[in-house]
């Protein structure tokens, strides 16, 4: 169980690009990174595309005025010249900026944490992977939900054969917030999400389903997709060519089959992020709306509901525990867990501790690049007329 004690020698000096006053995701980064004040210290930032707003926001967070920068290039250059300069940076800007900022950060000698979908192409992912290796730096990806402890319980139970051989993978990440084009009118963050120049080759496939795809790989690391078929729609026509709904059928190498439904037009839905894995003996089901529970159904036996924090859970899961059973948690716990692992990974890289890096489970550059590959394969299938394509 985490109790906030330090797991690395000292907190890393950390900065943000983006995540400013009006951003959707910035606060989640800060609760994740700063909850264990033994992992990261917010030291600098280029928080906003608007320099003045960024400075006032940063100062309100307690960052020194001269370390609230107008843009990321100035921040990387000036911080590199300081003895107490930043060591790690999180990128929480719109998708189209991730690659350039990530590359500049690595070239400035920084560890990087970047938002999903990581980049536009998997080639860019491979390039950054090589650059990070050359520079001896970590690139983590904020698949924030993936820090939910009960997902590791699923991983442990599947590895222990508790559900038998996997047959069916049923994935869903949907909501209804974009059921009409009104959402674009009222939100700048929604406007860029349907502009291919900023969002990339997809809307919901990248915005939503990359999370769930990574979570499925986290809980079933042995399950590889052999081929898939994706059918995508733009129910709000002005979003074309980007989709606001998509179905993906998957064939796995072991003969299992799967589906992913991802949508932002699932009108009224407030419980649309779920993972159900069906094996030959039993099934496991987890829902984002009830992250503390894992439903375990063995064929012919009463249903069991496993509860976060209870001693009967696997060590892998209990190691991520923060508050203990009976106390409801959720997204902040998940983000804090993955941010703590980012800090442990960066510290291990600095010390050359490859044993630690080999065993640490967290969303790394490979996971981020796999997410882009997922989008590329889905888009290739959908744009080819919803046909089966080999997963490349
Ligand atoms: P947003 O439009 O709400 O906020 C973007 C922020 O970045 C704003 O503060 C803006 O001023 C700033 N910004 C833009 N360009 C900048 C630049 N060049 N330099 C400095 N700051 C800049 O966007 P959002 O919804 O917060 O999404 C940002 C990223 O986070 C996207 O990649 C999105 O996919 C991702 N996201 C991830 C999750 C998650 O759960 N991991 C949730 C929401 C968004």
- Within 10 angstroms of residue 69's Cβ, the number of other Cβ atoms is 24
> Which ligand 1 atom is the nearest neighbour of the CA of 97?
18
Question: Over the stretch 68-115, which tens digit does the pLDDT of each residue have?
Answer: 999 999 999 999 999 999 999 999 999 999 999 999 999 999 999 999
Pocket of ligand 1 (CB under 6 A): 17-20, 22-25, 46, 48-49, 72, 92-95, 97, 115-116, 142, 144, 188-189, 207
Q: Residue 328 has what pLDDT?
A: 87
User: Which residues, 6 or more positions from 376, have their beta carbon under 8 angstroms from its beta carbon?
Assistant: 121, 122, 201, 392
Q: Per-domain residue ranges for the chain? A: 12-145+339-369, 149-321+385-390
d(CA 391, CA 111): 30
| Residue 4: pLDDT over 90 | no
For the stretch 153-156, contacts whose Cβ atoms lie closer than 8 Å and that sit 24 or more positions apart, written own/partner, are 153/294, 153/306, 153/313, 153/314, 153/316, 153/317, 154/219, 154/275, 154/277, 154/284, 154/286, 154/294, 155/218, 155/219, 155/220, 155/221, 155/316, 156/314, 156/315, 156/316, 156/317
Which DSSP state fits 189? H
Report CA(27)–ligand 1 centroid distance (Å): 11
Q: Which of 15, 16, 17, 18 to mutate to test the pocket of ligand 1 (most atoms within 8 A of CB)?
A: 18
> Which ligand 1 atom is the nearest neighbour of the CA of 101?
18
The protein residue with its alpha carbon nearest to ligand 1, atom 10, reads 48
Question: Over the stretch 258-295, which tens digit does the pLDDT of each residue have?
Answer: 999 999 999 999 999 999 999 999 999 999 999 999 99
Report CA(162)–ligand 1 centroid distance (Å): 40
% pLDDT > 70, the chain: 100
- Within 10 angstroms of residue 330's Cβ, the number of other Cβ atoms is 14
d(CA 334, CA 4): 15
Q: Which of 21, 56, 93, 113 to mutate to test the pocket of ligand 1 (most atoms within 8 A of CB)?
A: 93
Q: Which homologous superfamily is 149-321+385-390 in?
A: Dihydrodipicolinate Reductase; domain 2 (3.30.360.10)
The protein residue with its alpha carbon nearest to ligand 1, atom 3, reads 23
Sign of the torsion angle spanned by Cα atoms 96, 100, 102, 103: positive
Q: How many degrees, rounded to 5, is the angle at CA 275 between CA 184 and CA 294?
A: 125
Task: Using DSSP bridges, classify how beta strands 111-114 and 88-92 pair: parallel, antiparallel or unpaired.
Answer: parallel
Report CA(18)–ligand 1 centroid distance (Å): 6
Whether pTM > 0.85 for this model: the answer is: yes
CATH 3.40.50.1000 assigned to domain 12-145+339-369? The reply is no
Question: Over the stretch 297-320, which tens digit does the pLDDT of each residue have?
Answer: 999 999 999 999 999 999 999 999
The protein residue with its alpha carbon nearest to ligand 1, atom 43, reads 25
Task: Using DSSP bridges, classify how beta strands 304-307 and 293-298 pair: parallel, antiparallel or unpaired.
Answer: antiparallel
């Amino acid at each position: 169980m985490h109790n906030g004690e330090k797991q690395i020698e000292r907190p890393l000096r950390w900065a943000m690009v983006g995540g400013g006053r009006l951003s959707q995701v910035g606060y989640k980064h800060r609760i994740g990174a700063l909850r264990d004040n033994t992992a990261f210290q917010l030291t600098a930032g280029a928080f906003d595309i608007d320099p003045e707003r960024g400075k006032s926001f940063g100062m309100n967070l307690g960052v020194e005025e001269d370390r609230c920068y107008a843009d990321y290039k100035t921040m990387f250059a000036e911080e590199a010249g300081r003895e107490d300069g930043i060591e790690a940076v999180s990128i929480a800007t719109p998708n189209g900026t991730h690659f350039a900022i990530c590359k500049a950060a690595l070239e400035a000698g920084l560890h990087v944490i970047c938002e999903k979908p990581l980049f536009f192409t998997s080639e860019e992912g491979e390039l950054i992977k090589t650059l990070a290796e050359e520079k001896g730096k970590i690139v983590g990806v904020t698949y924030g939900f993936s820090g939910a402890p009960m997902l590791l319980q699923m991983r442990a139970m599947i590895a222990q054969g508790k559900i038998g051989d996997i047959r069916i993978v049923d994935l869903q990440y949907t909501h209804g917030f974009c059921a009409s084009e009104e959402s674009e009118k009222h939100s700048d963050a929604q406007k860029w999400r349907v502009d291919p120049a900023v969002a990339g080759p997809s809307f919901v496939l990248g915005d939503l389903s990359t999370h769930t795809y990574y979570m499925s790989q986290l809980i079933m690391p042995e399950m590889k997709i052999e081929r898939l078929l994706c059918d995508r729609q733009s129910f709000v026509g002005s979003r074309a060519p980007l989709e606001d709904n998509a179905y993906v059928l998957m064939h796995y190498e072991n003969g299992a089959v799967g589906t992913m439904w991802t949508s932002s037009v699932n009108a009224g839905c407030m419980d649309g992020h779920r993972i159900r894995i069906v094996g030959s003996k039993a099934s496991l089901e987890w829902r984002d709306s009830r992250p503390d529970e894992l439903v375990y159904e063995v064929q012919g036996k009463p249903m069991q509901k496993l509860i976060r924090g209870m001693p009967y859970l696997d060590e892998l899961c209990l190691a991520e525990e923060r508050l203990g059973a009976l106390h409801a948690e959720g997204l902040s716990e998940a983000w804090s867990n993955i941010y703590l692992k980012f800090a442990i990974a960066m510290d291990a890289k600095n010390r050359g501790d490859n044993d630690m890096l080999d065993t640490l489970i967290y969303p790394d550059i490979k996971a981020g690049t796999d997410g882009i590959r997922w989008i590329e394969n889905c888009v290739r299938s959908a744009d080819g007329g919803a046909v089966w394509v080999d997963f490349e």
